[in-house]
């Protein structure tokens, strides 16, 4: 009997497959690392073939563990957003490297478009700003600089990672869900369809783009695991995590602290318009109707800890950063602005560069590590201020992601934001949201509200910091970020 939900959670540095019961229990998982390629400063690429092979291998292992495809009711897919893949429809092979969401090669194009006065019109149509983060400018760059894409003609397919995985799983179904489509700079946020003007502006061949579909439904069937399994749930990772955190009511807010940090507030069924450089995006689409979110995106979060470990050698493992942060009473006046790939919301300065400031002979390794962890709360406070200015005041924050298993970071967030912070006992809410959508799409649940019972229990961190300490921390951060912006 088909009673399990299989999720493929394809991230930036790893991909994993997970099996869920209808009650939300994760019964098994398997992950594999993904290679990030850095061919030059600001350039970040993936091998789409590796993404497919590793994702398929992990999913195949889970199907075997489940007892065969007949035990799997549906597949849900969630993915790193904005990363764009180019492949050949005839052979199913990649035609070029996949350009990562972290890639900054299109900063000059974005700057030129801003100087030409294009950003207000683009923001009005898409809810997005002109930044290398989004897929549209990556497509424009690739179509100009990689001749093999034009040479492919009608054989060219372009899509974000979930499109690529669905194509490979089904042998040729070319679709994208509305959440991923809303991150491309090519979709009209109000219409839910590709905008002909934007498609032309960003040199995206219309015939190469996928069909935009809902986030839950029977989209196609894969037989690549020895039997037929329907694909029934699709969503970008941040939207999936918001669903997994049961942010189903307008005003509900979640923050995911993974490679980057992403905050989404449910904005309901009316398209929000930010006046403070936040993003408007699709939170989910069901039955052709869209629910929207306001989003603030921070590019560097967990990747900063990885940098401390791999590039600077200040820590041996990510896990030891908590004990190191606790080993000193404060940051000793040291602040870390982690603009290693520019600054995201609410600054949107792609040319900004990281800085560690306030160093003195009294500062040591622990102060730098603590300052790096503190940057998570400081960046979140900048977003909280912008959300409040747009009328989306946070009442509490639901958090998830690999970084948030660190109790010190969770408490620091509560202290700096002066808000209760809820952390679910099961932290893999991105995968959980995809499981909820897959369950809804295959008929296991009647609504997202019914599926929300999968979330389980949470632990709440209450603010404990004295107001004067908090204000001093925030003042020091404001000075540090002002210095970085002044140098940009």
Lowest-confidence pick of 370-374, 390-394, 411-415, 429-433: 390-394
Q: For residue 16, what are the β-bridge partners? A: 9, 31
Six token digits for residue 4: 């399990």
Give pLDDT, residue 276.
84
Which pLDDT tens digit goes with each residue over 137-146? 999 999 999 9
Give residue 72's pLDDT band: very low, low, confident or very high (50, 70, 90).
very high
User: In this predicted model, which residue has the larger pLDDT, 345 or 170?
Assistant: 170
Residue 245, pLDDT above cutoff 60: yes
Q: What is the mean pLDDT of residues 50-58?
A: 97
Domains for the chain: give ranges and CATH numbers: 4-238 (3.30.420.40), 246-424+457-488 (3.30.420.40)
Q: What is the mean pLDDT of residues 433-439?
A: 97
Query: How many whole angstroms separate alpha carbon 325 and alpha carbon 447?
Result: 43
Farthest CA pair distance, the chain: 66
Q: What is the mean pLDDT of residues 350-360?
A: 88
Question: Which helix H or strand E contains 310, and what residues bound it?
Answer: helix 302-310
User: In this predicted model, which residue has the larger pLDDT, 426 or 16?
Assistant: 16
Closest to 97 measured CA to CA, from 155, 153, 34? 34
Give pLDDT, residue 255.
93
φ and ψ of 391, to 5 deg:
85, 15
Query: How many whole angstroms separate alpha carbon 17 and alpha carbon 66?
Result: 12
Residue 1, pLDDT above cutoff 60: no
Q: What is the mean pLDDT of residues 13-41?
A: 93
Give residue 488's pLDDT band: very low, low, confident or very high (50, 70, 90).
low
Residue 350, pLDDT above cutoff 80: no
Classified as helix, coil or strand, 12 is coil
- Going through 150-276 in order, the beta strands assigned E by DSSP cover 156-160, 175-177, 211-213, 216-222, 229-236, 253-257, 261-268
Peptide linkage before 402 cis (omega within 30 of 0) = no
Q: What is the mean pLDDT of residues 382-394?
A: 89
b/e 338-375 (16+ beta carbons within 10 angstroms → b):
bbbbbbbbbbbebebebbbbbeeeebeebbbbbbbbbb
Query: How many whole angstroms separate alpha carbon 175 and alpha carbon 44?
Result: 25
Q: Which residue has the tokens 């700003």?
A: 129
Give pLDDT, residue 57.
97
Which pLDDT tens digit goes with each residue over 188-226? 998 999 999 999 999 999 999 999 999 999 999 999 999
Give residue 455's pLDDT band: very low, low, confident or very high (50, 70, 90).
confident
Give pLDDT, residue 260.
82
Residue 345, pLDDT above cutoff 90: no
Q: What is the mean pLDDT of the chain?
A: 93
């Amino acid at each position: 009997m088909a009673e399990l939900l299989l999720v493929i959670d394809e991230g930036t540095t790893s991909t994993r497959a997970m099996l869920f019961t209808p009650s939300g229990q994760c019964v098994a998982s398997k992950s594999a690392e993904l290679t990030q390629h850095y061919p030059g400063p600001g350039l970040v690429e993936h091998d789409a073939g590796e993404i497919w092979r590793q994702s398929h291998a992990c999913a195949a292992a889970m199907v075997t563990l489940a007892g065969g495809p007949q035990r799997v009711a549906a597949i849900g897919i969630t993915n790193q957003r904005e990363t764009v893949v180019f492949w050949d429809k005839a052979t199913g092979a990649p035609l070029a490297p996949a350009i990562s969401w972290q890639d900054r090669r299109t900063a000059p194009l974005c700057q030129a478009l801003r100087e030409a006065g294009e950003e207000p019109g683009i923001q009005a149509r898409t809810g997005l700003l002109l930044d290398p983060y989004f897929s549209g400018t990556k497509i424009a760059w690739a179509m100009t600089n990689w001749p093999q894409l034009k040479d492919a003609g009608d054989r060219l397919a372009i899509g974000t990672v979930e499109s690529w995985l669905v194509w490979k799983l089904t042998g040729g179904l070319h679709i994208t869900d509305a959440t991923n489509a809303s991150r491309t700079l090519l979709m009209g946020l109000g219409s839910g369809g590709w905008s002909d003007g934007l498609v032309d502006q960003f040199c995206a061949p219309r015939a190469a783009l996928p069909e935009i579909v809902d986030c839950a439904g029977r989209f196609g069937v894969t037989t690549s695991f020895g039997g037929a399994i329907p694909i029934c749930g699709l969503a970008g990772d941040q939207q999936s995590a918001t669903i997994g955190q049961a942010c189903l009511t307008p005003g509900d807010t979640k923050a995911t602290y993974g490679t980057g940090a992403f905050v989404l507030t449910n904005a309901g069924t009316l398209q929000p318009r930010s006046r403070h450089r936040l993003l408007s995006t699709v939170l989910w689409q069901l039955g052709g109707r869209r629910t929207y979110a306001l989003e603030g995106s921070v590019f560097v979060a967990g990747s900063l800890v990885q940098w401390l470990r791999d590039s600077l050698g200040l820590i041996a493992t990510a896990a030891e950063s908590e004990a190191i942060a606790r080993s000193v009473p404060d940051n000793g006046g040291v602040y870390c602005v982690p603009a290693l790939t520019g600054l995201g919301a609410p600054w949107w300065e792609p040319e900004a560069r990281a800085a560690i400031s306030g160093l003195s002979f009294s500062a040591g390794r622990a102060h730098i590590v603590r300052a790096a962890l503190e940057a998570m709360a400081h960046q979140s406070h900048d977003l909280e201020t912008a959300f409040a200015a747009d009328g989306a005041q946070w009442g509490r924050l639901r958090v998830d992601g690999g970084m948030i298993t660190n109790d010190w970071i969770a408490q620091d967030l509560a202290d700096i934001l002066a808000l209760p912070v809820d952390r679910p006992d099961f932290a893999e809410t991105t995968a959980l949201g995809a499981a909820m959508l897959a369950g809804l799409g295959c008929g296991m649940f009647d609504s997202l509200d019914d599926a929300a019972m999968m979330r389980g229990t949470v632990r709440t961190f209450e603010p404990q910091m004295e107001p004067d300490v908090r204000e001093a921390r925030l003042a020091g951060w404001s000075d540090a970020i002002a210095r970085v912006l002044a140098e940009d």
